[in-house]
Structure 1
Amino acid sequence: MSTNPDWPQGHERLVLSETDSTMAEALRRLPDLKAPTWILALRQTAGRGRRGRAWVDPSGNFAATLLQRLDEPPQQLALRSFVAALALHEALMGLTGLEAGFALKWPNDVLLNGGKLSGILLESPGQGVLSLGIGVNLRASPPADPAAAFPPVNLRTETGLTIQPEALLDHLAPAFATWDQRLRTYGFDPIRTAFLQRVTRLGQTLVARTMTEEVQGTFETIDATGSLVLRTAQGPRAIPAADIFFP
């Protein structure tokens, strides 16, 4: 357990010196899960991102997964990606004391000075189970991907600040618990409003690439289900999942 007095009550905290992937570690620990558990790895050897992509994780970066049981339908579980993004944004601003530079990218990335600082991955390995993986480039950036919309950046290079992974976890966990309680109490609307206040490129033209098509339009809003809403020449389009790029 954490000695941090702000640590959310009833949540376990597990820090590993090394593992293959915190998402894989969460899956292995699922049969014995008795309480929501944050799993932090100080070194991750086989991290992964969305759609099975590799997540390169140099030493000193942040890699953690929250594993919990939630008696909710899948569409409600999926809204935790927005909760996680808001919590991470809040934790990073609190730790760094920086008011400018941080922004959100739909559906759940945190950007710093226009570059990709983090990635968030949601999976449901069983009914009512949520694995929420979060990776943050605290000290080093992975190699740039020419196909990516935003170049990778890291906190130390961009700000000159060195943040320890354990310190970020101790700020992230209570922030997540607070935003999550808002979702449970008031529904998605306040989460959606807060996300839109922090999201990048709102009102600008972007391209959404799904598994089957490419849609270009103006980023108009996020709807009540968390879908991206684009204003296109054919009218508004709600897109539940996509990679976004900018022409």
Structure 2
Amino acid sequence: MTNKRPVETWFTDMDGVLVHEEDPIPGAAEFLDALKKHERPFLVLTNNSIFTPRDLRARLARAGIDVPEEAIWTSALATAQFLDDQRPGGSAYVVGETGLTTALHEIGYTTNDRDPDYVVLGETRTYSFEAITRAIRLIEAGARFIATNPDPSGPSPDGTLPATGSVAALITTATGRQPYYVGKPNSLMMRSALNRLEAHSETTVMIGDRMDTDIVSGLEAGIRTVLVLSGSTPKDKVESFPYKATRVVDSIADVVPLVEEFAP
């Protein structure tokens, strides 16, 4: 790190940092063990809106990584919180999976396919042309357009899949309306995570594998950042960005000594 301020709170991305799909990344379990040893609050921040925190906890557990359900903060949860702040008790037409619909139901939102306050687009592995068409027509009729995150693609065991950003671009092309993205790189997600733990940006670190989401959102929230080279941003691309991470390391295993070094 560039300074010796204590690190009281740790944020980390999930895919590319702790796991690759169902496979653990070496050092992930040891990193979490170090946080628990020093009683450091932490959150796993993910743009994945498909799954609920309970689902993601089970997925991580299968990889031998123990993360409490309450320590997982998804773009779906951040989106739900944003909508609850903006228009409590509203309605939405949702294109997405259980992680998103559950988050919206838990804040008291109802689903509506006729005259919703919002069209909310999240990630799904089975985008329906019929659902996308309905979303386009509702936006044209005046529904506000929200998307959980701008990631254009995502990984799968069989290769790249189109993600929320790609489908949002399709809807934007058809309607001329840009969505408001809540998840990373919007620093709103980072600030909502800070509020969730009652943490301060000056004593928090964000670990991520993407310069264009994890690192830039941490930077804009005033948080120190660590880029791991085990995921999306390769080493030869790091210098092409007009901003930099506080530190660049090979993997989460290299962060374990930092937990010890910066423990208050």
TM-score (norm 2): 0.28
Pick 1 or 2: higher relative contact order, CA cutoff 8 A, min separation 6: 2
Greater share of helix: 2
Greater share of strand: 1
Larger Rg: 2
TM-score (norm 1): 0.29
